[in-house]
Homo-oligomer: A and B are copies of this chain.
Amino acid sequence: MTTPPRPAPLRLGIAGLGTVGTGVVRIVQTHAALIERRCGRAIEITAVSARDRSRNRDVDVSGYAWEDDAAALARRPDVDVLVELVGGADGIARDATEAAIAAGKDVVTANKAMLALHGQGLAEAAEAAGRVLRFEAAVAGGIPVVKALTEGLAGNAVTRIVGVMNGTCNYILTRMESAGLAYETVFSEAEKLGYLEADPTLDVGGIDAGHKLALLAAIGFGTRVDFEAVELQGIERVSIEDIRHAADMGYRIKLLGIAQMTGRGLEQRMAPCLVPVDSPLAQLPGATNMVMLEGDAVGRIVLRGAGAGSGPTASAVMADVIDIARGTRLSTFGQPAAGLARAQPARTAAPTPWYLRMTLIDKPGALAKVAHALGESGVSIDRMRQYGHADPFAPVLIVTHATTQDAIEDAASRFSSTGVLVGDPVALAIEDV
């Protein structure tokens, strides 16, 4: 019996040796035999690239060729797959990705910003070149949600995608509640722990989570990724008082993404919301992520796991790499990018109850003016509470009956002409998920 020739290994060029990059190196090094059994071929790293060659890393990369320039790495003839872990929507990451595609390489990336902003063009370029561009690690860390949606639910008309997809925001909100601390305090803690992006607005402004939502929506609804159309609200204005009021009423506050296709178009919203305390979403601790995928046949599938970190994100990168090694070749968004429809962006129209917190100047008739403004906007009040206070400013909490975001924003604009509000109200939808 002759041994069949050993198939050629799949050769990776890894651009970016930070937390995720070193995690990928570690998996390739420690699980070489396991991965070869699973793929029917070996996976090797041939070359790496990073900002600083001299930096001390806790993995040994001395056996790989070094490139200072990630685009040069991408073009190397001994690289089959560019693993892009540099990050950032443009610059090095995008240049390297474009270079890889132009040179006929497959690309695996964890870069949500690049794909949310340039995914359509990159996917079209890859597909025109007969190459794949995959991004499991870009959404919800180690959770194989891109795979679940693109493949596992491929027989479904996707009806809705709901998720908590930014671990840092979830950490901040969870910690505020559990320790009773102010937003600013926990934000500083998170900063010290290295949980925040260099530009923290990416996290707390909901941008990072919005990128992820836009990517899942493109797959789920077969539309061009449209991050600009995501209605974004960050967690910066969520106070410990909001968290306490929500808890009193049986809710927790989560930065929640919701995407759904309606008769009017594609709704995409990422905003802090109140969710019932017994909902699986409400019970999500710390930096965990959760995504709910709803399809017409399957109903609701819930996926939960670590949303970030070296091991989990590297696990997702390797899932894409192993798919390629096994010969699985899928379009970036689950169908040819060139054929993706342009979705009509739609404002969220499904009515929900809303939580409103505002500060009134404590004078007779102030509350009545607010109530009147709400009535004028067609918003009816379920509960209203004015809290005890020592200064001339009265904190007021209102829970409305189900109403639309448009009506709430109309009311908010009327508030300003009442002259009794201090600052803008905080308005959070109450989502029954």
Residues of B within 8 A of A336 (CB): 40
Contact with B along A213-225 (1 / 0, CB 8 A): 0000000001000
Is A90 at the interface (CB under 8 A from chain B)? no
Task: Please measure, in the bound complex, the distance between the C-alpha atom of A222 and the C-alpha atom of B312, giving whole angstroms.
Answer: 21
Is A148 at the interface (CB under 8 A from chain B)? yes
Task: Choose, from A113-121, A153-161, A372-380, A392-400, the stretch at the interface.
Answer: A153-161
| A301 touching B144 in the complex, CB below 8 Å, given contacts A296-B311, A335-B37 | yes
Task: Please measure, in the bound complex, the distance between the C-alpha atom of A300 and the C-alpha atom of B327, giving whole angstroms.
Answer: 27
Is A319 at the interface (CB under 8 A from chain B)? yes
Q: Looking at the complex, which one of B37, B152, B302, B329 makes contact with A222 (CB distance below 8 Å)?
A: B37
19 interchain pairs (CB within 8 A)?
A26-B297, A31-B155, A34-B222, A35-B154, A142-B297, A142-B299, A152-B319, A280-B280, A297-B312, A297-B315, A297-B318, A298-B311, A298-B312, A299-B311, A300-B306, A302-B302, A302-B304, A304-B304, A328-B330
Question: Nearest residue in B to A146 (C-beta to C-beta)?
Answer: B152
Contact with B along A318-349 (1 / 0, CB 8 A): 11011100111110001110010000000000
| A155 touching B305 in the complex, CB below 8 Å, given contacts A297-B318, A311-B297, A318-B297 | no
Is A295 at the interface (CB under 8 A from chain B)? yes
Please determine whether A301 and B298 come into contact, CB atoms closer than 8 angstroms.
Answer: no
Is A57 at the interface (CB under 8 A from chain B)? no
Question: Nearest residue in B to A312 (C-beta to C-beta)?
Answer: B298
Please determine whether B155 and A319 come into contact, CB atoms closer than 8 angstroms.
Answer: yes
Is A205 at the interface (CB under 8 A from chain B)? no
Residues of B within 8 A of A37 (CB): 222, 335, 339
Secondary structure at the A interface, as helix, strand, loop or mixed, is mixed
Please determine whether A301 and B299 come into contact, CB atoms closer than 8 angstroms.
Answer: no
Is A314 at the interface (CB under 8 A from chain B)? yes
Is A27 at the interface (CB under 8 A from chain B)? yes
| A334 touching B38 in the complex, CB below 8 Å, given contacts A23-B297, A314-B297 | yes
From residue A221, how far is it (CB to closest CB) to chain B in Å?
11
Is A151 at the interface (CB under 8 A from chain B)? yes
Please determine whether A156 and B297 come into contact, CB atoms closer than 8 angstroms.
Answer: no
* Most central of A35, A136, A154 by chain B CB within 10 Å: A154
Interface size class on chain A is 35 or more
From residue A4, how far is it (CB to closest CB) to chain B in Å?
12
Please determine whether A321 and B144 come into contact, CB atoms closer than 8 angstroms.
Answer: no
Using a CB-CB cutoff of 8 Å, which residues 122-162 of chain A contact chain B?
136, 142-144, 147-148, 151-157
Determine how many copies of this chain the complex contains. 2
Question: Nearest residue in B to A333 (C-beta to C-beta)?
Answer: B38
Using a CB-CB cutoff of 8 Å, which residues 264-322 of chain A contact chain B?
278, 280, 283, 295-306, 309, 311-312, 314-319, 321-322
From residue A175, how far is it (CB to closest CB) to chain B in Å?
18
Question: Nearest residue in B to A152 (C-beta to C-beta)?
Answer: B144
Task: Please measure, in the bound complex, the distance between the C-alpha atom of A284 and the C-alpha atom of B321, giving whole angstroms.
Answer: 34
Residues of B within 8 A of A156 (CB): 27, 31, 315, 318
- 10 closest A-B pairs by beta carbon, nearest first, are A144-B152, A155-B318, A298-B315, A142-B298, A297-B315, A297-B311, A301-B305, A302-B304, A154-B322, A328-B328
Residues of B within 8 A of A303 (CB): 301-304
Q: Looking at the complex, which one of B148, B280, B302, B315 makes contact with A153 (CB distance below 8 Å)?
A: B315
Residues of B within 8 A of A316 (CB): 152, 298
Task: Please measure, in the bound complex, the distance between the C-alpha atom of A37 and the C-alpha atom of B151, giving whole angstroms.
Answer: 13
Residues of B within 8 A of A280 (CB): 280, 283, 304
Residues of B within 8 A of A143 (CB): 301
